[in-house]
Amino acid sequence: MGLDLRGQAAVIAGGAGGLGSATVRHLAAHGAGVVVLDPDESAAHTLVNEIGEHAAVVAGDALDDNALGRAIESAQALGAFTIAVSATGVVIPSRRLVSRSGAILDLDIFQQNFDLHVLGPANLARYSAAAFATNTPTSDGQRGVVVLTASISAFDGQVSMVPYAAAKGAVVSMVLPMARDLAPLGVRVCAIAPGGFVTPRLSDPAVQDLLAEDAVFPRRLGRPDEFADLVGSIVANPYLNGEVIRLDGATRLSPQMGPPPSNDSR
Ligand SMILES: NC(=O)c1ccc[n+]([C@@H]2O[C@H](COP(=O)([O-])OP(=O)(O)OC[C@H]3O[C@@H](n4cnc5c(N)ncnc54)[C@H](O)[C@@H]3O)[C@@H](O)[C@H]2O)c1
């Protein structure tokens, strides 16, 4: 039987982005009410207008308790709020920990990565789980599911990606203890660790080609609808919990993306 989410509602943080918007479309196509929590108000409204009924925008940040509270209230107005997905991202430029010329990486790059990739998702998870706790449980005691977005960089981080890899590693490490913490509430927690996906943050064709070279099969980048489909599978399968799933065509990232330029001073 296909995924039937009628009567349920989801908050998708980063829902206006590449992976997020595919998730919003997928969940909505299977009947869920969807709330797009994203600071990119214009992209969020364009998406919600496309979906029509049973969709809402909360322009804001997953780190903002107030915006999160409004997103959860909006979801509860659209149905039983049972699904929280974190797909937030911005590109935070980084470089080697110490460059060949001796420049030391700014600690603020770590802070920005941890705010975006760890504290935001943790905030979404804690507020969502508290709201899920008030749901009537299913016959096997389930009240909701949290899906986080890690990255294969958590496992094979490349040159110049220490802060990002550390933050995504923290996402991976949060999943099992979160699942254990939230089990008494009937809340499951999983994460997807994507390889390279074609989204606005990876719009440079040269970068896409380099990343696709590391894929084994299919030898291409992932499509956002393939990510969204996995979110749907996690939501649908009540026995999936505490797990991080790589979605990467068997990609194992090489140490660095492409050959270093001859004057590499990163
Ligand atoms: N695209 C890839 O190849 C890839 C690979 C591995 C992991 N990821 C991870 O997937 C996630 C989504 O990536 P994407 O490619 O869809 O990025 P994207 O840039 O297309 O979309 C990210 C969205 O998040 C929103 N956002 C930023 N900060 C936010 C916040 N604090 N709260 C709510 N929304 C916020 C942005 O406005 C944007 O709409 C990121 O965490 C990224 O690290 C992406």
Q: Which pLDDT score is estimated for 1?
A: 54
pLDDT digits (tens, 9 = 90+) for 71-120: 999 999 999 999 999 999 999 999 999 999 999 999 999 999 999 999 99
Q: Could you report the per-residue pLDDT of 111-132, keeping only the tens digit for each?
A: 999 999 999 999 999 999 999 9
User: What is the helix, strand, coil percentage profile of the chain, to 5?
Assistant: 45, 20, 40
- State the distance from the centre of ligand 1 to the C-alpha of 153, rounded, in angstroms: 14
Domains and CATH numbers, the chain: 8-247 (3.40.50.720)
Strands (E) in the chain, as ranges, are 8-13, 33-38, 55-59, 80-86, 144-149, 187-194, 243-247
**Residue 35 CB less than 6 A away from ligand 1:** no
Give CA separation, 39 vs 45, 90, 147, 209, in Å. 11, 11, 20, 29
Ligand 1 pocket residue status of 150, Cβ below 6 Å: no
For the entire predicted model, the pTM comes to 0.97
Q: What is the pLDDT of residue 40?
A: 98
Q: Is the CB of 62 under 6 A from ligand 1?
A: yes
The 80-86 sheet, strands edge to edge? 55-59, 33-38, 8-13, 80-86, 144-149, 187-194, 243-247
